[in-house]
Amino acid sequence: MTTEFVTPTTGASNTSTRDMLSKVIDIEGNPYKRDFPLLANNPQISFLDSAATAQRPKSVLDAQRDFYERLNSNPLRGLYKLSVEATAAVDEVREKVAKFINADSPDDIVFTRNATESLNLMAKSLGGSILKPGDEVVITIMEHHSNLIPWQQVCRQTGAKLVYMYPDKEGFLSDEEIETKIGPKAKIVSVAQVSNVLGVENPVKKIGERAHQQGAYFIVDGAQSAPHMHVDVKDIGCDAFAFSGHKMFSPMGIGVLWARKNILEKMPPMLTGGEMIESVTEDDAVWAELPHKFEAGTQDAAGIVGLGAAVDYINSIGMDRMEAREHALVKYLAEQLSQLDFVRIFGPKDPAQHTAVVAFNVCGIHPHDVASILDASDVCIRAGHHCAMPLMTWMGVHSTCRASVAMYNDKKDIDQLISGLKKVWAVFNGDK
Amino acid sequence: MTTEFVTPTTGASNTSTRDMLSKVIDIEGNPYKRDFPLLANNPQISFLDSAATAQRPKSVLDAQRDFYERLNSNPLRGLYKLSVEATAAVDEVREKVAKFINADSPDDIVFTRNATESLNLMAKSLGGSILKPGDEVVITIMEHHSNLIPWQQVCRQTGAKLVYMYPDKEGFLSDEEIETKIGPKAKIVSVAQVSNVLGVENPVKKIGERAHQQGAYFIVDGAQSAPHMHVDVKDIGCDAFAFSGHKMFSPMGIGVLWARKNILEKMPPMLTGGEMIESVTEDDAVWAELPHKFEAGTQDAAGIVGLGAAVDYINSIGMDRMEAREHALVKYLAEQLSQLDFVRIFGPKDPAQHTAVVAFNVCGIHPHDVASILDASDVCIRAGHHCAMPLMTWMGVHSTCRASVAMYNDKKDIDQLISGLKKVWAVFNGDK
Amino acid sequence: MAINNIYSAALMEHNAHPDYKYQMDNPDYQHEGVNPSCGDDIVLSMDVEDGVIKEIAFTGSGCAVSQSSTDIMSDLLTDKTVDEAYDLCSLFLKMIRGEVTDDKVLAKLGEAAQLKDISHMPARVKCAELGWRTCMTIIDDQIRGKKTA
Amino acid sequence: MAINNIYSAALMEHNAHPDYKYQMDNPDYQHEGVNPSCGDDIVLSMDVEDGVIKEIAFTGSGCAVSQSSTDIMSDLLTDKTVDEAYDLCSLFLKMIRGEVTDDKVLAKLGEAAQLKDISHMPARVKCAELGWRTCMTIIDDQIRGKKTA
Ligand SMILES: Cc1ncc(COP(=O)(O)O)c(C=O)c1O
Ligand SMILES: Cc1ncc(COP(=O)(O)O)c(C=O)c1O
Ligand code: FES
Ligand code: FES
């Protein structure tokens, strides 16, 4: 991600590379589905809900199981071989994850349960210790609840004010909005790199520059970006980056928080207990070094090893190739949807501006009915508020349908959705 | 656990039943090891570190994997079959776990990452909202850091005082100590049911009665009891009970908190974000019903399903039988250790009073050296402070060795430890 | 069960043309029921005379299942006594949860018995129940006055 | 590697009878090094004259590995110049981390070269390093005065 912004108003980076690559991608062919047992065993299923949670390749399931069958033991402090190897396995993944997002040091990678916990840690631990009455925390109206409620809570506790940036109708944040909302009172700016509803990529570099100019910390919720694009925390210029393993092919139960060392160092731990201390007396405790300070209690070492295998899997395919394929898929998805005159798409009009996600509604039909009827055609999509209620309110809807792709999808999956939607329409309105 | 205390000073319940059963147990035979792939594949290993983390049976690993291969999807709010089935699978485990500890309702079972998180939730959420300057929180000196530092922290924040109960030299809490320390200022009493170092079972029923007499909440850290004995939260009479799956054959990354509904209802959530709300506006949020209020973000559904399989595995053997076997094993372990004149055992003198755990030191030899040399004989024990530094200080040692058993151990494992210890002694002192 | 069974022509008809979906003037009783899993709501209104439901109507928004189920219910309960209505609602909930499956017993529910298959669709059970639960709440809390008693 | 290689007779001898384990009177330099993974400590004391280490001794408590490694170090560094001592410490750390494996190069470490196999025991690396790291800290911070510079 060294390319500069091509279209500053959209914030999408390396758009042109992606477009170029996506033209040579064959979305009819699918060399990946066979790597994913659930998809391979259920060829009838069109799984278009990867934005909620991805499927996991065999290599990840094998790695997790192998841990239990070969190394299983409590990683920290053990002196016997199993435990030493388990510790080494966890350390190795920390290095892999650091490289994956181009972080300087594995010590600044904290394993959490999910992006939600990572963001709570930032809100409670950083927010809770620096915010004062009159300060501002700036987010966007398109945040997932996990990057919204924690800030609501900490603002309430500290007397800081929560300020929302609003995009235009297509979901793009304007320079003006960024400059107006991130002012001198801003102490923390926290923004999703990719919206889990609109599918837009936010101009995080620009937001980060503005935040830093104003002396604010800049946090990026990467739950929907890390699975789909090269993430380079240095290039983004953020101070913290949060994401979930389960959305990028790893087992459930593992999330990541990266933050700059000096920030992590001054943040108090959120959870305390075993494994996160250097010493404890009856009255006092001294915290362990990074990253252990933030990892209280026995960690999910097998899940961490699974996350490492997920990173390996992505690297073995190549993020460029994955991104290009997903870009081709989501473009096809958005294009096909927009040809149905009874479907209304949310977010960017340009299909190429959607990252992996397209939210839509079928005119006059409740999204839950759409999803239920699609299920009868073995099409899996999500319907609801997508943990983004304030965005729904701002969009003037109660809920939407959402289809999302990963690189294991293909043209057939999308065609199955489209013909399923025609059936939905027919059920409600008679055949055309 | 309907038997009354047999020996009130020790607090061990159903001792006589256990003793009776343990006499008919054949610890030379081992019908269980083959269920555990790591142990079956490594017959040379004597794994005596189950108190840190247990091994997992094939059925648990299969259940976890099966989830990923058959049902994998985000459990909540999905309308398609996969997601509906995943939701049902998680709900079913909640019921199983409720039954496992004899809780009234699955809605009062909160899934966490581990016992540490469960205890943090109680300390922050209950402690943080009720404690006032001058109040007292009562724990014992033998608590694991996970049931100690969170209380230290919340006492510091609220101005409450942390009060320690001290046992006698063998590790038994006297009635007098309980009555003296749990006084009218006590608002919360939180105690390990079984010490992870001394192996004693604390008189939790008695402590609970005293706590309730004084109007305090009573919390039990069951990390070392749930894997080894029938837990009946009603019989114990506690208000909350915390434990970790990974110490009772389940995958890592899953813990449990049970608490009385009326307490959970008034506790604010600790983590906020997706899946734990009923509604969110720009300025406010309404929490979801129990237990979801406490489960922010995507949960480790596969791990939960694994925990369910672990409960099934335990039930298939029968907790009575497991407990009796472990009792026979730990008795043999403590007896054999006490026959080595260069070994000093901590905790109860009576081998029968140890629950699964025996801590010891080899005279003049650092525990880390002991563990390293034992490792050469494929014996896995733990050496260190066992996340119980204040207890170490109170015991007047820096660290100890610790051997712990689970029902998959056998006589051979213990004999291997004993002959390993003789080697350790020989390395340092020449052959006898 | 094929999901399309649920989205039958009859159901679709109730959804498209709900006879009982309108705002009643000054109803004797009114209550808003919310489906927590989606946030949809049904505001049910009722006039009762001498223990008999004289008029029943609803507003609110929701999926086809909740809308048509409520419309079917309204049709069924009109002119029933409050006690009969309450029993029918109970029976409906039992059917939807799969606790009563005997078609002979379910015949009492008339057209509503066609919603039986929803018991196999856990994600939609709450939709089908919404109107009926709301009705029971009105009877419990407002008519029989359990809450104020 | 067989772990018993580490617990060799020579090492055991240093552990049982550490020649350099005593409290020095008024040492020129002194520093406490702590091994965070176990909490054990070594307090190292040193007298330096004209750039040469004249006396070196330690107290503290720890495992056989840390104790004997420190005793061996003390023996090696006595009468060495501060610069030589520093280089030997660096070399030792490199050996322990497996970065230098050439026995010819390691010969400079004398008896300490026997600790080479600890590089295969990650859990004990910190033990072997403890005394040497503490020595380097004294040279860096107190003798060369980097910290005060
Ligand atoms: C008594 C006790 N409490 C709490 C814990 C913490 O368990 P976990 O690390 O799974 O959170 C342990 C684990 O060692 C323990 O033994
Ligand atoms: C943008 C965004 N942020 C945060 C999250 C929360 O992720 P998790 O549920 O894994 O904590 C999600 C998941 O839906 C998301 O899409
Ligand atoms: S989806 Fe809301 S009531 Fe059916
Ligand atoms: S175990 Fe502490 S220094 Fe070796």
Q: Is A398 in the pocket of ligand 3 (CB under 6 A)?
A: no
Measured CA to CA, the distance from residue A290 to residue A301 in angstroms comes to 17
Q: How far does the centroid of ligand 4 lie from the alpha carbon of residue D24, in Å?
A: 23
Structure tokens, D11: 């090492």
Least confident of A34-38, A73-77, C104-108: A73-77
Structural contact between residues B98 and B105, judged by C-beta atoms closer than 8 angstroms: yes
> Closest ligand 1 atom, CA of B194?
1
What residues of chain D lie within 8 A of the CB of B369, using their CB? 7, 63-65
Mean pLDDT, to the nearest integer, of A200-213? 98
Measured CA to CA, the distance from residue B91 to residue A358 in angstroms comes to 30
Average pLDDT, chain B: 94
Residue A198 amino acid letter: L
Interface contact B369, partner D, CB < 8 A: yes
Nearest residue in D to B423, CA atom: D4
Burial class (CB in 10 A: 0-12, 13-18, 19+), D26: exposed
Question: Which H/E stretch holds residue A211?
Answer: helix A204-213
* H-assigned helices in A339-410: 367-376, 389-395
DSSP B342-394: TEEE-S-SSGGG--SEEEEEETTB-HHHHHHHHHHTTEE-EEE-TT-HHHHHH
Q: Which of residues 121-150 of A touch B (CB under 8 A)?
A: 141, 144-150
Mean pLDDT, to the nearest integer, of A141-168? 98
pLDDT of residue B77: 67
The CB-based long-range contact list for C80-89 (8 Å cut-off, 24+ gap) reads C80/C52, C80/C53, C81/C51, C81/C52, C81/C53, C82/C48, C82/C51, C82/C52, C82/C53, C82/C139, C82/C143, C82/C144, C83/C51, C85/C53, C85/C135, C85/C139, C86/C136, C86/C139, C89/C132, C89/C133, C89/C135, C89/C136, C89/C139
Measured CA to CA, the distance from residue A420 to residue A432 in angstroms comes to 14
pLDDT of residue A15: 60
Note the CATH number of domain B61-315.
3.40.640.10
* B247 compared with A6, residue with greater pLDDT: B247
DSSP state of B55: -
Query: Of A93, A58, A57, whose CA–CA distance to A302 is shortest?
Result: A93
Which of the four pLDDT bands, split at 50, 70 and 90, describes residue D4?
Answer: low
Does pLDDT of A14 surpass 60? no
Question: Which H/E stretch holds residue A382?
Answer: strand A382-384
Least confident of A69-78, A224-233, A279-288, B394-403: A69-78
pLDDT tens-place string over residues A159-181: 999 999 999 999 999 999 999 99
Which of the four pLDDT bands, split at 50, 70 and 90, describes residue A309?
Answer: very high
pLDDT tens-place string over residues C58-115: 999 999 999 999 999 999 999 999 999 999 999 999 999 999 999 999 999 999 999 9
Question: Which H/E stretch holds residue D42?
Answer: strand D41-49
Does pLDDT of A281 surpass 70? yes
Mean pLDDT, to the nearest integer, of B13-31? 74
Mean pLDDT, to the nearest integer, of A246-266? 98
pLDDT of residue B19: 66
Query: Of A165, A234, A217, A222, whose CA–CA distance to A193 is shortest?
Result: A222
Measured CA to CA, the distance from residue D83 to residue C24 in angstroms comes to 96
pLDDT of residue D143: 94
pLDDT of residue C128: 96
Q: Is C15 in the pocket of ligand 3 (CB under 6 A)?
A: no
Does pLDDT of D146 surpass 50? yes
The ligand whose atoms approach the alpha carbon of B256 most closely is: 1
The CATH homologous superfamily of the domain defined by A15-31+318-429:
Aspartate Aminotransferase, domain 1 (3.90.1150.10)
pLDDT tens-place string over residues A57-69: 999 999 999 999 9
Helix, strand or coil, per DSSP, at residue B320: helix
Mean pLDDT, to the nearest integer, of B179-201? 98
Note the CATH number of domain C3-143.
3.90.1010.10
pLDDT of residue B79: 83
Measured CA to CA, the distance from residue C139 to residue C46 in angstroms comes to 10
Which of the four pLDDT bands, split at 50, 70 and 90, describes residue C120?
Answer: confident
Which chains share 3+ C-beta pairs under 8 angstroms with D?
Answer: A, B
pLDDT of residue B75: 80
A76-106 per-residue burial string, b: 16 or more CB within 10 A, e: under 16: bbbbbbbbbbbbebbeebbebbbebbebeeb
pLDDT of residue A237: 98
pLDDT of residue C3: 56
Nearest residue in A to D37, CA atom: A77
* H-assigned helices in B73-174: 81-100, 115-121, 128-130, 149-158
pLDDT of residue D97: 93
Describe the crossing of helices A81-100 and D122-137 by its angle, rounded to 10 degrees: 70
* Length in residues, chain C: 149
Structure tokens, C65: 């299942």
Measured CA to CA, the distance from residue A282 to residue A284 in angstroms comes to 6
Mean pLDDT, to the nearest integer, of B184-213? 98
pLDDT tens-place string over residues B122-161: 999 999 999 999 999 999 999 999 999 999 999 999 999 9
Mean pLDDT, to the nearest integer, of B272-288? 95
What residues of chain D lie within 8 A of the CB of B368, using their CB? 38, 63, 65, 123-124, 127
Does pLDDT of B209 surpass 70? yes
- Please give, rounded to a whole number of angstroms, the shortest distance from the CA of A137 to a CA of chain B: 13
Structure tokens, B117: 């998180």
Using CB atoms, pick whichever of A376, A398, A399 lies closest to residue C4: A376
Nearest residue in B to C36, CA atom: B278
- Please give, rounded to a whole number of angstroms, the shortest distance from the CA of D85 to a CA of chain B: 28
Total-model pTM? 0.94
In degrees, rounded to 5, the angle at the alpha carbon of residue B391 between the alpha carbons of residues B388 and B394 is 155
pLDDT of residue C69: 97
> Closest ligand 3 atom, CA of A366?
1
Inter-chain residue contact B427 with D2, CB threshold 8 Å = no
pLDDT tens-place string over residues B352-376: 999 999 999 999 999 999 999 999 9
Select from D37, D63, D126 the residue whose CB has the most chain A CBs within 10 Å, as the one to mutate to test that interface: D37
The residues facing B280 across adjacent strands are B285
The residues facing A192 across adjacent strands are A221
pLDDT tens-place string over residues B68-89: 999 888 887 678 889 999 999 9
- For a pLDDT cut of 90, what percent of chain D falls above it? 85
- Please give, rounded to a whole number of angstroms, the shortest distance from the CA of A187 to a CA of chain B: 18
pLDDT of residue A24: 75
Structural contact between residues D59 and D48, judged by C-beta atoms closer than 8 angstroms: no
**Domain boundaries in chain A?**
15-31+318-429, 61-315
Burial class (CB in 10 A: 0-12, 13-18, 19+), A149: buried
Interface contact B427, partner D, CB < 8 A: yes
pLDDT tens-place string over residues D16-75: 999 999 999 999 999 999 998 898 999 999 999 999 999 999 999 999 999 999 999 999
Inter-chain residue contact C2 with A366, CB threshold 8 Å = no
Which of the four pLDDT bands, split at 50, 70 and 90, describes residue D2?
Answer: low
- Please give, rounded to a whole number of angstroms, the shortest distance from the CA of D100 to a CA of chain B: 24
Question: Which H/E stretch holds residue D134?
Answer: helix D122-137
Using CB atoms, pick whichever of A87, A88, A289 lies closest to residue D36: A289
Q: How far does the centroid of ligand 2 lie from the alpha carbon of residue A96, in Å?
A: 22
Measured CA to CA, the distance from residue B244 to residue B14 in angstroms comes to 23
* Length in residues, chain D: 149
Question: Which H/E stretch holds residue A286?
Answer: strand A285-287
Query: Of B400, B393, B388, whose CA–CA distance to B343 is shortest?
Result: B400
Are C and D neighbours with ≥3 CB pairs closer than 8 A?
no
Q: How far does the centroid of ligand 4 lie from the alpha carbon of residue A261, in Å?
A: 28
pLDDT tens-place string over residues B297-315: 999 999 999 999 999 999 9
**Largest separation between any pair of C-alpha atoms in chain C:** 46
pLDDT tens-place string over residues B286-299: 999 999 999 999 99
Nearest residue in B to D37, CA atom: B384
Residue B239's region, left for phi above 0, alpha for psi from -120 to 50, else beta, is alpha
pLDDT of residue B430: 81
pLDDT of residue B5: 29
Structural contact between residues A171 and A200, judged by C-beta atoms closer than 8 angstroms: yes
pLDDT of residue A13: 47
Measured CA to CA, the distance from residue A168 to residue D13 in angstroms comes to 77
pLDDT of residue B224: 98
